[in-house]
Structure 1
Amino acid sequence: MVVAVVLVLIVVGSVAFHFLSPWWWTPIASNWGYIDNTIIITFWITGAVFAAVVLFVAYCVWRFRHKDGQKADYEPENKRLENWLMGLTAVGVAAMLIPGLFVWGQFITVPAEATEAEVVGAQWQWSYRLPGADGKLGLSDTRLVAADNPYGIKPDDPNGHDDVLIEADYLHLPIDKPVKMLLRSVDTLHDFYVAEFRSKMDMIPGAVTYFWFTPTRTGQFEVLCAELCGTGHPYMRGGVVVDTQEDYDAWLAGQSTYAQLYAPEVLKTATID
């Protein structure tokens, strides 16, 4: 009886904590709603299964407890029960996966008015690139990455000469402006993750992945690498600072372009077609 009561209390406590918990998600980016709703659906489905299984175990512990002279029935197979369990499991898994397909579609369908920002991951630091006055990012190639060209920008592409390079751990973005995040890695797998934005995407060497969001609250938010990328992985941290438009413009005016930092040396080198 003690075991059965403890199991029931675990279920009651878990459900009560869910409804009474002071910790809940905060809307900080435009994509928080549909991502959080998908997570909540998963919580409800897995929570219902958890409660049902634990309560069933508690019932079995009480109902089939040891009694003198009582012998258990041996029933190794029950096709009806197996079919029910298989069907309910399939429905539950589908209910958790299908919303994710719609969320993924929204996550990668970039608004036409979105600006671009590039994140470059390298062991074990972040760097960023923003379009210059022309509003276009220059072409890049991982094979061009070198000490005097850490972003791998093609020096013969004029669109890249005014690109703004941020060789630091913090990227600034203006509030209420949609932005398409282009993600590149120059060495191994990384993952750009900002928990408060519900934004997370793998970075694959030789490829460009992306997602978009609109910051809806000013502040500083931590960037983590969510893919094991070597011995320095735990220290690969950075930040995104969401500014008012005025503060963002002031910060941007103090940044350097590719031409200012590297062009005098890099433009003399050979490029890869």
Structure 2
Amino acid sequence: MYAMYVRIWKRISRSNQTGRKRMRHLRKGLMAGTLAIVLVGGLITPVAAGESYVVYEGDTLSHIAARYGMTVRQLVALNGIDDPDLIFPGQQIVLSASGSGVVSGAEDDADEPAPAVVSHRADEEVAADESGEAPPYFPREQIRELLIDAAQRYGWDPNLIMAQAWQESSWRQDEVSWTGAVGVMQIMPRTAADMESWFFGYRVNTWDSAYDNIEMGVAYLSVLYEETGSVELALASYYQGWASVQRDGFFPDTHDYVDRIFKFREMFANGELP
């Protein structure tokens, strides 16, 4: 069904020696885990006392739990949530009880495995530019145009790329995760540096430029598709890491991530999302 999404990418990468050479370097990087850092599971993640998270459209408790190294059960207990499947945009989710600086999966949750801290959000310090300012805001309509343009240039279904970007950041270039993932496509600095070196060959400004951020994310997804031969595996590898997906299969949160993107894709196709 999705085999034609990357027809342009395949044609470009196979049509010249430079593209093939870059793919060999990228394959080595993927195997070594340098483009997508191998997941770290079961960590006790430090969280500032009283820290909270504001829910965006498309978020789920499992997604938030994975981002902060917690379990859904912990979030439910901390926030007095009756239905774990029902949260709302703008809702504030408490991540740590007041006075407690650490959330541990060892308490009352021994029978529930800690969620995976996924590759493209792990093992990186929080990104910040020299001024300490957040990335700039871009209007949603402009982001939409950039996503469609990048999808068409790389041969992807625009609805799928819009759906992935919606899942990643709700199309917010000014979104920076606590681990340093930046912008619309939530690009990790190390992934960006490796892609700049082996794929682009020049500096890509994923912080200030929504165009560059989207270009980086779509190019990286295309690399993963070229390596895996599957849209589902490429999306899972973007989230969890290619080496980890090969070794461990999908983690539960990875299944959720991929399923949400396909759901959002249908919603974009039907005009139910902007």
TM-score norm. by structure 1 comes to 0.22
TM-score (norm 2): 0.22
Q: Per residue, is there more helix in 1 or in 2? A: 2
Larger radius of gyration: 1
